[in-house]
Chain A
Amino acid sequence: MVLKQWALACSHRCYSSLLSLYPIEFRIRFRKEMCQVFRDCCRDAVQRGSLKAISALWIRTLLDLGISIFRERGRALTTAVSLRDRTSGVVESMVILAIIIFHLLVAGTWIAHYLPQTHESTGGFFLVSAAMGAALGGLGMLCSVLLSRFRRIQYRLILF
């Protein structure tokens, strides 16, 4: 009985910690309910009478968590990228554009560096472009971090 109580307490704690992997908005909305449901499932498993039932519950739960965390993260990213919210549409576009330009220019600089140079000015041009791209990218990243902090939208995911 003591072992079961210990297993239950551990299970609740582990499950609650694993829920941190969900996107923050999903967590805020459903964390308590999900913990409650998991507690109910554990209670049922204990009533069935064995630690084997708790183990089976954990296997199912881990599979479900793996799939649903991946799906919810994907949805959060899609929500962040899609420009549904008119008020932040321009800022979102700027952030995404800045990040794209930054990556393109960095790639361009690397290509220019390794390709045989036909004109002397090519390297300089790409360096200036890269500096501008870096500045834009930095601004974009700053905006995205600020937005993710204040609006709880996961722009940070775009950066990785």
Chain B
Amino acid sequence: MTKRKQAKPETRVPEQYLPLTPAVFHILVALGDGEAHGYAIMRAVTQKSMGTVRLGAGTLYGAINRLLQDGLIEESEERPDPDMDDERRRYYRLTEFGGRVLAGETKRMADLVRAARSTSAVRKINLA
């Protein structure tokens, strides 16, 4: 993999990565509670989206590749349960900067939802 030159953490702001693509957002949410391997991420995304989002392995690892290059996630050396696990699996976790990007995107989406709820069209439906 050609290493993409990462910007220094102090020069980066989370806003430059926003808006996130749905796949990336779901992956960051799945990693929000701790490290996980690819299949666990895939299952967490399906569960947390109540089955509406199903990531394929290609989409998942394409997104993981970009997130690793951008420094939003990193590979974890620790294994939660080495005895129960296959050593071919790699675990990933959010970096501190990745957490800030996730928080930024969550806030952006919350603001959007608030704006949408304040429109008369949505209020009308909610009242009915």
Contact = CB atoms under 8 A, between A and B. Distances in A.
Contacts of B65: 26, 29-30
Contact of A64 (B2, B4, B59, B86): B59
Interface in A51-92: 60-61, 63-65, 67-69, 71-72, 79, 84-85
Interface string B47-60: 00000001011111
Nearest to A60: B56
Given A26-B1, A33-B88, A36-B88, A68 B38 contact: no
B56 A61 contact: yes
B124 interface: no
Interface string A11-51: 00000000000100110111011101110110000000000
Interface residues of B, number: 22
A98 interface: no
B2 A34 contact: no
B90 A34 contact: no
A36 B1 contact: no
A37 B38 contact: yes
A33 B90 contact: yes
B60 A37 contact: yes
Interface in B61-88: 61-62, 64-65, 86, 88
Contacts of A96: none
B58 to A, nearest CB: 3
B42 interface: yes
B53 to A, nearest CB: 12
Closest 8 CB pairs between A and B? A64-B56, A68-B58, A25-B1, A40-B39, A30-B61, A34-B57, A37-B57, A64-B58
Given A26-B1, A41-B39, A69-B58, 4 more contacts: A26-B61, A33-B38, A40-B39, A68-B61
13 contacts: A25-B1, A28-B1, A29-B1, A29-B65, A33-B38, A36-B38, A36-B39, A41-B39, A41-B42, A68-B56, A68-B59, A69-B58, A85-B2
